Amino acid sequence: MTIQPQYHWLARAGYGARGVVFILVAGLALFSTFGGGRETGTKSALETLTGQPFGRVWLGLIALGLLGFVVWRLAQSIGNADNHADDLKGYIIRAALFGSAVTYVGLAFYAAGHALDLLGSSQSGSDGKTGLAQWLMSKPFGAWIAGLVGIGFVIGGCVTAYKGLSRKFRKYIQLPGGDASPLSLICIYGLASRGLVFAIVGVFFCYAAFTVDPDQAGSMSDALAWVRQLPFGAILYFIVALGLAAFGGYGLIEARYRSVDMPDGDDLKDAMPG
């Protein structure tokens, strides 16, 4: 694959922007541990910047970074930048990466809208899972589709956690110091925590599909609230929230150390199925 170094900054800026978003999410979650009472989601995290000094400037930079991340996700999915095999597993991974690109398009435009003050204060800070479930269930066989989406969330969460615990992330990240380095431990902790939260969101989605009630679909904030209700919930909540901060750190580590091979036009043609 032809390396395009002039475009590497898109991927690295994207990983960095995603890392900052999750660090903000973790900050809100940890703040609520001490009675802050704030909703903890990616959009809520972005909204907290609005009232800060140079907050809209930061939101604009995050929006640009997330758009770079979208470009990179499209390169990974459509252009097969990571050289996945042309088999069922490879196509499933690339489909998941394309889904990630779609998700971050929405988040990037949400950040840009607040940076330009286009959304005002009427927009909810939730992650929009209930809205997605409601839209899906309004379609023919919508409950079944919503259930499949929920199963996808659960599988994605388990895969993310496994990627951390098995150190599979080392395939694309060359860290100084090896597996015992603090950076490696941050990656493991962050991926396992994010995977757990993602899987819980998937269970909520499946329950919403089973009850044909889109209001039962949960967001990241709902997943954290559910953890808090468990025995020793305050301790577990703190551990998971700190893990989301570690996932943000993982994003910053990817921005620095992840291998990035941006495809060119010929690579895109070669990567298309068939």
Same domain? 108 vs 176: no
Same domain? 13 vs 81: yes
Q: Is residue 272 part of a domain?
A: yes
Q: How far is 158 from 156, CA to CA, in rounded Å?
A: 5
Same domain? 188 vs 268: no
Q: Is residue 239 part of a domain?
A: no
Q: What is the pTM of this model?
A: 0.83
Tokens of 106: 């929405």
How do the residues of the chain divide into helix, strand and coil, expressed in percent and rounded to 5? 75, 0, 25
Same domain? 2 vs 92: yes
Same domain? 114 vs 167: no
Q: Which of 96, 139, 133, 125 minimizes the C-alpha distance to 207? A: 133
Same domain? 109 vs 93: yes
- Domain containing 72: what range? 1-126+248-274
Helix then strand count (H, E) for the chain reads: 10, 0
pLDDT tens-place string over residues 148-197:
888 988 999 999 999 999 999 999 998 887 777 899 999 999 999 999 99
Same domain? 177 vs 253: no
Same domain? 34 vs 116: yes
Q: Which residue has the tokens 């930061």?
A: 58
Q: Is residue 234 part of a domain?
A: no
Q: How far is 252 from 119, CA to CA, in rounded Å?
A: 28
5 contact partners, CB below 8 Å, separation of at least 6: none
Same domain? 17 vs 105: yes
Same domain? 254 vs 271: yes
Residue 40: pLDDT band by 50, 70, 90 thresholds?
A: low
The number of folded domains in the chain is: 2
The pLDDT value recorded for residue 18 is 94
39 contact partners, CB below 8 Å, separation of at least 6: 28, 125, 126, 221
Q: Is residue 241 part of a domain?
A: no
Is residue 134 within 8 Å of residue 208, measured between CB atoms? Answer: no
Give the dihedral sign, CA 19/240/30/238: negative
Tokens of 128: 């929009």
Q: Is residue 202 part of a domain?
A: yes
CB neighbourhood size of 30 (10 A): 17
Q: How far is 68 from 32, CA to CA, in rounded Å?
A: 31
Tokens of 33: 């541990």
Q: Is residue 24 part of a domain?
A: yes
Range name among 47-56, 232-241, 251-260 with the lowest pLDDT average? 47-56
* Residue 145 φ then ψ, to 5°: -65, -45
Q: Is residue 39 part of a domain?
A: yes
CB neighbourhood size of 87 (10 A): 8
Q: Which of 21, 123, 106, 95 minimizes the C-alpha distance to 70? A: 106
Range name among 26-30, 110-114, 218-222 with the lowest pLDDT average? 218-222
pLDDT tens-place string over residues 216-243:
776 787 888 888 888 888 899 999 999 9
